[in-house]
Amino acid sequence: MVCEEIEAKMTLYLYGELPDSECAAVEEHFAACADCARHAATARRLQQLLNQQPVAEPAPELLVHCRQALEVALDYEQLGWHSLLRDWTPALSLSHPSGIVAVVGLVIFGFGLGWTLRPQTGRVHTAAPAQASSQATLADLSGARISAIRQVAPDPETGGVKITLDAEHRVTMEGSLDDPRIRDVMLYALRSYSNPGIRLDTLEALRSKVDTPAVQPAFLYVLQHDPNLGLRMEALNAVRKTDWNPEVRGALLNVVEHDKNPGLRGAVVDELSRRALQQHDLQVIQELQRLAETDSDRYVRQKSLSALVALGAAGP
């Protein structure tokens, strides 16, 4: 090959898009031509430089914010804005995309210990992953030291969840969300794990179980103590759907009293007033009165006052 041809093929070569048959010729040319070899070295340095700006993981707050905003927008759609908006939106050219599938940035951490938790069956099934050095049973986990949790992913097929984590040995297992050993890992993740993305995933995976006695305390813990606002918001969203009980009430009251974020306090005021209306809960009404008078944030005071007005517990 001559230098001009190499120039045209260099990018493809460096991005692994050149057929094997041509790679050899390109490499031979680099060995013989100092100019092109220097060019290739520069191109490699460009790749390395660009890798210094890696693909960042979205902050959980941002993800939660996006989901909430989308939910509101979809509500509007369903309320009849649909046709109006559609008229304004140019049609998408989406017909007949062909069978090749592409996944954008699907990053899976294949290393570690994978669990599939099945909420319905109590079945515990073990299977070794392709590169696993050993096949293990769920019982092995009780003695395993967990060094890192890599991923918590919902499994749409089973409604269960798959956890990938690093432990002393590597296994893949299936179990139930009700299995206490599995629950313990997830509760560990929620309470102690430093990566907020993993905590968010765990929260989502456990969401369907928020009404169970084993899981609910973890949600209430996150709602009250997680350092990440997005996580606390998500925990509140889940807690909204639970039955009213003294623990839920205590957690909500604790949040309005102690949480530093007025947005979350305001959202909890909404929830408290909704519950107070349903449950005729006097203690909640008293707390709303206190908030209306003494909360440091004007928005929270106003929200509490409006709630009381709506409840008929305060004059306009």
Partner 1 sequence: MDGACLELAGKIPAESSPLAGTDESALVRRAQAGDRTAFDALVRLYDREVLRLAMRVVKSEDEAADLYQEAFLKVYRSLGRFRFESSFSTWLYRVVVNVCLDHLRRQRSRNEVQPPEQEPGEPEYFHSLADPNPGQHPEQALRAREIGGRIHAALEQLTPRERMVFELKHYQGLKLRAIGQLCGTTEETAKNCLFRATQKLRSCLADLL
H-type helices in 148-279, by residue range? Answer: 180-192, 196-206, 216-225, 229-239, 246-258, 262-279
Q: Decide if residue 3 touches Zn ion (CB under 5 A).
A: yes
Residue 112, phi-psi category: left (phi > 0), alpha (psi -120 to 50), beta (remainder): left
CA-nearest of 277, 279, 262 to 308 is: 277
CA-nearest of 277, 230, 278, 283 to 252 is: 283
Pick out residues in 185-204 that bind partner 1 (CB under 8 A).
196, 204
Q: Of the candidates 10, 26, 36, 233, which one interacts with Zn ion according to CB under 5 A?
A: 36
Pattern of binders to Zn ion over 229-248, x per CB under 5 A? --------------------
Q: Which stretch binds Zn ion (CB under 5 A): 33-41, 57-65, 150-158, 277-285?
A: 33-41
Nearer to partner 1, 2 or 103 (CB): 103
Q: Of the candidates 1, 23, 25, 61, which one interacts with partner 1 according to CB under 8 A?
A: 61
Q: How far is CA 120 from CA 106, 216, 316, in A?
A: 28, 18, 50
CB of 36 to Zn ion, least distance (A): 3
How many residues touch partner 1 under the rule CB under 8 A: the total is: 69
Q: Of the candidates 1, 12, 18, 33, which one interacts with Zn ion according to CB under 5 A?
A: 33
162 contact choice in Zn ion, partner 1, none (CB below 5 to 8 Å, kind-dependent): partner 1
CA-nearest of 43, 42, 39, 45 to 4 is: 39
Residues 6+ apart with CB under 8 A from 276: 284, 285, 288, 307, 311
Q: What gap in Å lies between CA 180 and CA 138, rounded to an integer?
A: 11
Three-state DSSP state, 175: strand
Q: Decide if residue 237 touches partner 1 (CB under 8 A).
A: no
Chain positions contacting Zn ion, by CB under 5 A: 3, 33, 36
Chain positions contacting partner 1, by CB under 8 A: 8, 11-12, 15-17, 42-43, 45-47, 49-50, 52-59, 61-63, 65-67, 69-71, 73-74, 77-78, 82, 85-86, 89, 91-108, 110, 114, 129-130, 151, 153-157, 162, 196, 204
